[in-house]
Amino acid sequence: MAGIEGKVVAITGASSGIGEATALLLADRGAAVVLGARRVDRLDALADGIRGRGGRAASLDVDVTRREDLERLVDLAVGQFGRLDVLVGNAGISKIGPLADLDVDGWSAMVDVNLRGVLHGIAAALPVFRRQGQGHFVTTVSTSGLKIVPNQAVYAATKNAVRTLLEGLRQESTDGVVRTTSISPGYVRTELADSIDDERVREQIRTGMAEFGIPPEAVARAVAFAIEQPHDVEIGDLTIRPTIQG
Protein backbone atom coordinates (compact mmCIF):
# COMPACT_ATOMS: atom_id res chain seq x y z
CA MET A 1 0.00 0.00 0.00
CA ALA A 2 1.67 3.22 -1.17
CA GLY A 3 0.61 6.68 -0.08
CA ILE A 4 -1.16 7.61 3.13
CA GLU A 5 -4.87 7.34 2.40
CA GLY A 6 -6.41 4.29 4.03
CA LYS A 7 -3.47 3.51 6.28
CA VAL A 8 -3.90 2.99 10.01
CA VAL A 9 -1.31 4.89 12.04
CA ALA A 10 -0.82 4.77 15.82
CA ILE A 11 1.03 7.71 17.39
CA THR A 12 2.45 8.00 20.90
CA GLY A 13 3.01 11.39 22.48
CA ALA A 14 0.11 12.58 20.35
CA SER A 15 -1.43 15.22 22.61
CA SER A 16 0.82 18.11 21.56
CA GLY A 17 3.76 19.21 19.44
CA ILE A 18 5.08 16.87 16.78
CA GLY A 19 2.63 14.10 17.69
CA GLU A 20 -0.40 16.36 17.41
CA ALA A 21 0.80 17.92 14.13
CA THR A 22 1.48 14.46 12.69
CA ALA A 23 -1.98 13.22 13.68
CA LEU A 24 -3.68 16.20 12.04
CA LEU A 25 -1.66 15.96 8.82
CA LEU A 26 -2.05 12.21 8.38
CA ALA A 27 -5.78 12.35 9.17
CA ASP A 28 -6.22 15.13 6.61
CA ARG A 29 -4.48 12.90 4.07
CA GLY A 30 -6.86 10.03 4.69
CA ALA A 31 -5.21 7.91 7.37
CA ALA A 32 -7.04 6.54 10.38
CA VAL A 33 -5.09 7.73 13.42
CA VAL A 34 -4.97 6.02 16.81
CA LEU A 35 -3.70 8.48 19.37
CA GLY A 36 -1.92 7.68 22.61
CA ALA A 37 -0.71 10.04 25.36
CA ARG A 38 -1.06 10.69 29.07
CA ARG A 39 -2.96 13.99 28.82
CA VAL A 40 -6.31 12.46 28.02
CA ASP A 41 -8.31 15.70 27.90
CA ARG A 42 -6.11 17.15 25.16
CA LEU A 43 -5.95 13.80 23.39
CA ASP A 44 -9.73 13.39 23.31
CA ALA A 45 -10.16 16.97 22.09
CA LEU A 46 -7.74 16.26 19.24
CA ALA A 47 -9.57 13.08 18.26
CA ASP A 48 -12.92 14.87 18.41
CA GLY A 49 -11.58 17.63 16.19
CA ILE A 50 -10.33 15.14 13.61
CA ARG A 51 -13.65 13.34 13.55
CA GLY A 52 -15.45 16.68 13.32
CA ARG A 53 -13.60 17.34 10.06
CA GLY A 54 -14.64 13.97 8.66
CA GLY A 55 -11.50 12.07 9.64
CA ARG A 56 -11.11 8.78 11.48
CA ALA A 57 -9.54 8.82 14.93
CA ALA A 58 -9.47 6.92 18.21
CA SER A 59 -7.69 7.85 21.43
CA LEU A 60 -6.35 6.05 24.46
CA ASP A 61 -4.60 6.94 27.71
CA VAL A 62 -1.06 5.66 27.12
CA ASP A 63 2.05 5.78 29.30
CA VAL A 64 4.83 4.29 27.16
CA THR A 65 6.72 3.12 30.23
CA ARG A 66 3.97 0.52 30.69
CA ARG A 67 4.23 -2.28 28.16
CA GLU A 68 0.55 -3.14 28.52
CA ASP A 69 -0.42 0.39 27.41
CA LEU A 70 1.33 -0.09 24.07
CA GLU A 71 -0.36 -3.45 23.70
CA ARG A 72 -3.73 -1.79 24.30
CA LEU A 73 -2.92 0.92 21.73
CA VAL A 74 -2.09 -1.68 19.09
CA ASP A 75 -5.17 -3.71 20.01
CA LEU A 76 -7.33 -0.59 19.65
CA ALA A 77 -5.98 0.05 16.16
CA VAL A 78 -6.57 -3.51 15.01
CA GLY A 79 -9.92 -3.82 16.75
CA GLN A 80 -11.38 -0.56 15.47
CA PHE A 81 -9.76 -0.24 12.05
CA GLY A 82 -8.81 -3.82 11.17
CA ARG A 83 -5.03 -3.45 11.01
CA LEU A 84 -2.02 -1.35 11.98
CA ASP A 85 0.26 -0.07 9.23
CA VAL A 86 2.51 2.38 11.08
CA LEU A 87 3.56 2.99 14.68
CA VAL A 88 4.94 6.50 15.19
CA GLY A 89 6.97 6.42 18.41
CA ASN A 90 7.01 10.08 19.37
CA ALA A 91 6.71 10.14 23.17
CA GLY A 92 9.80 11.60 24.81
CA ILE A 93 11.08 13.65 27.73
CA SER A 94 14.17 15.80 28.18
CA LYS A 95 15.55 15.83 31.73
CA ILE A 96 18.70 17.59 30.59
CA GLY A 97 21.32 19.25 32.75
CA PRO A 98 24.98 18.85 33.77
CA LEU A 99 26.06 15.31 34.58
CA ALA A 100 27.59 16.68 37.77
CA ASP A 101 24.06 17.36 39.06
CA LEU A 102 23.72 13.57 39.41
CA ASP A 103 20.05 13.62 38.51
CA VAL A 104 19.80 9.84 38.62
CA ASP A 105 16.00 9.92 38.74
CA GLY A 106 15.93 12.13 35.63
CA TRP A 107 18.35 9.82 33.84
CA SER A 108 16.18 6.83 34.69
CA ALA A 109 13.05 8.61 33.50
CA MET A 110 14.64 9.36 30.13
CA VAL A 111 15.74 5.75 29.73
CA ASP A 112 12.24 4.56 30.63
CA VAL A 113 10.38 6.90 28.26
CA ASN A 114 12.82 7.54 25.40
CA LEU A 115 14.27 4.05 25.07
CA ARG A 116 12.14 1.54 26.94
CA GLY A 117 9.00 3.19 25.54
CA VAL A 118 10.23 2.51 22.00
CA LEU A 119 11.03 -1.09 22.91
CA HIS A 120 7.52 -1.52 24.30
CA GLY A 121 6.11 -0.25 21.02
CA ILE A 122 8.21 -2.68 19.02
CA ALA A 123 7.17 -5.57 21.26
CA ALA A 124 3.50 -4.69 20.80
CA ALA A 125 3.46 -3.95 17.07
CA LEU A 126 6.05 -6.30 15.58
CA PRO A 127 3.91 -9.46 15.86
CA VAL A 128 1.05 -7.61 14.12
CA PHE A 129 3.33 -6.39 11.36
CA ARG A 130 4.69 -9.91 10.85
CA ARG A 131 1.19 -11.37 10.75
CA GLN A 132 0.05 -8.79 8.21
CA GLY A 133 3.16 -9.17 6.06
CA GLN A 134 4.17 -5.50 6.39
CA GLY A 135 4.47 -2.62 8.84
CA HIS A 136 6.48 0.50 9.53
CA PHE A 137 8.15 1.91 12.66
CA VAL A 138 8.72 5.67 12.53
CA THR A 139 10.50 7.03 15.59
CA THR A 140 11.38 10.55 16.67
CA VAL A 141 15.06 10.70 17.60
CA SER A 142 16.98 14.01 17.84
CA THR A 143 19.87 16.02 16.44
CA SER A 144 21.15 15.91 20.04
CA GLY A 145 22.42 12.46 19.16
CA LEU A 146 24.26 13.78 16.11
CA LYS A 147 26.03 16.72 17.75
CA ILE A 148 26.93 16.03 21.37
CA VAL A 149 26.83 19.16 23.54
CA PRO A 150 27.09 19.88 27.27
CA ASN A 151 24.04 19.21 29.47
CA GLN A 152 22.55 16.70 27.03
CA ALA A 153 24.78 13.64 27.49
CA VAL A 154 22.17 11.24 28.88
CA TYR A 155 19.38 12.57 26.67
CA ALA A 156 21.62 12.14 23.61
CA ALA A 157 22.59 8.67 24.82
CA THR A 158 18.95 7.56 24.94
CA LYS A 159 18.33 8.94 21.45
CA ASN A 160 21.43 7.27 20.03
CA ALA A 161 20.38 4.03 21.66
CA VAL A 162 17.09 4.26 19.78
CA ARG A 163 18.94 5.02 16.55
CA THR A 164 21.05 1.89 17.08
CA LEU A 165 17.98 -0.15 17.98
CA LEU A 166 16.16 0.78 14.78
CA GLU A 167 19.21 0.09 12.63
CA GLY A 168 19.51 -3.34 14.22
CA LEU A 169 15.84 -4.01 13.57
CA ARG A 170 16.28 -2.86 9.97
CA GLN A 171 19.10 -5.32 9.42
CA GLU A 172 17.00 -8.11 10.91
CA SER A 173 14.09 -7.20 8.61
CA THR A 174 15.54 -7.37 5.13
CA ASP A 175 12.83 -9.84 4.15
CA GLY A 176 10.80 -6.77 3.21
CA VAL A 177 8.17 -7.02 5.93
CA VAL A 178 9.19 -4.25 8.33
CA ARG A 179 10.41 -0.75 7.52
CA THR A 180 12.14 1.53 10.03
CA THR A 181 12.60 5.30 9.93
CA SER A 182 14.51 7.47 12.41
CA ILE A 183 13.58 11.15 12.24
CA SER A 184 15.97 13.54 13.99
CA PRO A 185 14.48 16.99 14.58
CA GLY A 186 16.56 19.93 15.70
CA TYR A 187 14.98 22.89 17.49
CA VAL A 188 11.20 22.58 17.14
CA ARG A 189 8.64 24.78 18.85
CA THR A 190 7.12 22.19 21.17
CA GLU A 191 6.51 21.71 24.90
CA LEU A 192 9.53 19.40 25.33
CA ALA A 193 11.33 21.99 27.45
CA ASP A 194 8.58 21.72 30.07
CA SER A 195 10.10 18.43 31.24
CA ILE A 196 13.48 20.06 32.02
CA ASP A 197 13.92 20.55 35.77
CA ASP A 198 17.03 22.74 35.62
CA GLU A 199 15.56 26.26 35.37
CA ARG A 200 18.59 27.79 33.65
CA VAL A 201 18.79 25.05 31.03
CA ARG A 202 15.00 25.08 30.56
CA GLU A 203 14.96 28.79 29.78
CA GLN A 204 17.95 28.41 27.46
CA ILE A 205 16.13 25.76 25.43
CA ARG A 206 12.90 27.76 25.40
CA THR A 207 14.78 30.79 24.12
CA GLY A 208 16.29 28.78 21.29
CA MET A 209 12.90 27.36 20.37
CA ALA A 210 11.32 30.80 20.32
CA GLU A 211 14.11 32.47 18.36
CA PHE A 212 14.69 29.96 15.57
CA GLY A 213 12.71 26.76 16.18
CA ILE A 214 10.74 25.36 13.26
CA PRO A 215 7.03 24.52 13.64
CA PRO A 216 6.07 20.92 14.48
CA GLU A 217 4.19 20.75 11.18
CA ALA A 218 7.56 20.69 9.41
CA VAL A 219 8.46 17.45 11.18
CA ALA A 220 4.99 16.06 10.50
CA ARG A 221 5.62 16.54 6.78
CA ALA A 222 8.84 14.53 7.13
CA VAL A 223 6.91 11.73 8.83
CA ALA A 224 4.34 11.78 6.03
CA PHE A 225 7.11 11.65 3.41
CA ALA A 226 8.56 8.49 4.95
CA ILE A 227 5.16 6.83 5.30
CA GLU A 228 3.89 7.58 1.80
CA GLN A 229 6.74 5.78 0.03
CA PRO A 230 5.98 2.45 -1.67
CA HIS A 231 6.65 -0.46 0.66
CA ASP A 232 9.80 -1.47 -1.25
CA VAL A 233 11.31 1.97 -0.44
CA GLU A 234 12.63 2.65 3.04
CA ILE A 235 13.57 6.12 4.27
CA GLY A 236 15.97 5.06 6.98
CA ASP A 237 17.08 8.38 8.43
CA LEU A 238 15.81 11.94 8.12
CA THR A 239 17.33 14.98 9.79
CA ILE A 240 15.20 18.12 9.89
CA ARG A 241 16.42 21.29 11.58
CA PRO A 242 16.25 25.08 11.28
CA THR A 243 18.53 26.35 8.55
CA ILE A 244 20.33 28.57 11.08
CA GLN A 245 20.87 25.90 13.76
CA GLY A 246 24.55 25.36 14.47
Which structural domain range is residue 169 located in? 8-240
Residue 125 lies in a domain: yes
The rounded distance, in Å, linking the Cα atoms of 221 and 171 is 26
Read off the pLDDT of each residue in 146-159 and give the average, rounded to a whole number.
93
Residue 192 lies in a domain: yes
pLDDT score, position 190: 76
Of the pLDDT bands very low, low, confident and very high (cuts 50, 70, 90), residue 208 is: confident
Q: State residue 141's pLDDT score.
A: 96
DSSP per-residue codes, 118-130: HHHHHHHHHHHHH
Helix (H) or strand (E) holding 202: helix 199-212
Domain annotation covers residue 225: yes
Query: Is 3 among the domain residues?
Result: no
> For position 213, what pLDDT does the model report?
84
User: Which secondary structure element, helix H or strand E, spans residue 56, and what is its range?
Assistant: strand 56-61
Of 57-61, 199-203, 211-215, minimum mean pLDDT range = 199-203
Q: What integer pLDDT is reported at residue 66 of this predicted model? A: 98
Which pLDDT band, with edges at 50, 70 and 90, does 193 fall under?
A: low
Specify the range with the lowest mean pLDDT, choosing from 7-16, 145-154, 159-168. Answer: 145-154
Pick the closest to residue 188 from 12, 3, 19, 8 (CA basis).
19
Collapse the DSSP code of 140 into the 3-class scheme (helix H, G, I; strand E, B; otherwise coil) and give the result. Answer: strand
> Does the pLDDT value for residue 194 go beyond 80?
no
The model scores a pTM over 0.85? yes
Mean pLDDT for 127-131 is 98
| 228 alpha carbon, distance to own chain's centre | 17
Query: What CATH number is given to the structural domain containing 111?
Result: 3.40.50.720
Higher-pLDDT residue of 203 and 134 is 134
Mean of the per-residue pLDDT values of the chain: 93
Interval 21-47: pLDDT, tens: 999 999 999 999 999 999 999 999 999
Residue 155 falls in the annotated catalytic set? yes
**pLDDT over 60 at 1, yes or no:** no
- Total number of domains constituting the chain: 1
Tell me, yes or no, whether 2 lies in a domain: no
The residue annotated as part of the active site, out of 81, 107, 137, 155, is 155
Sign of the dihedral defined by the CA atoms of residues 195, 115, 220, 76, in that order: negative
Question: Does residue 154 fall inside a structural domain?
Answer: yes
Query: Is residue 50 in a domain?
Result: yes
Report the distance separating Cα 61 and Cα 79, nearest Å. 16
Mean pLDDT of 175-189: 93
pLDDT recorded at residue 75? 98
CA dist 35 and 243 (Å) reads 31
Burial class (CB in 10 A: 0-12, 13-18, 19+), 4: buried
Say if residues 141 and 163 touch (Cβ distance below 8 Å): yes
pLDDT grade for 189, boundaries at 50, 70 and 90: confident
In this predicted structure, the answer to whether residue 117 has a pLDDT above a threshold of 60 is: yes
What is the average per-residue pLDDT within 186-209? Answer: 75
Has residue 199 got a pLDDT over 80? no
What span, in angstroms and rounded, lies between the C-alpha atoms of 165 and 86?
17
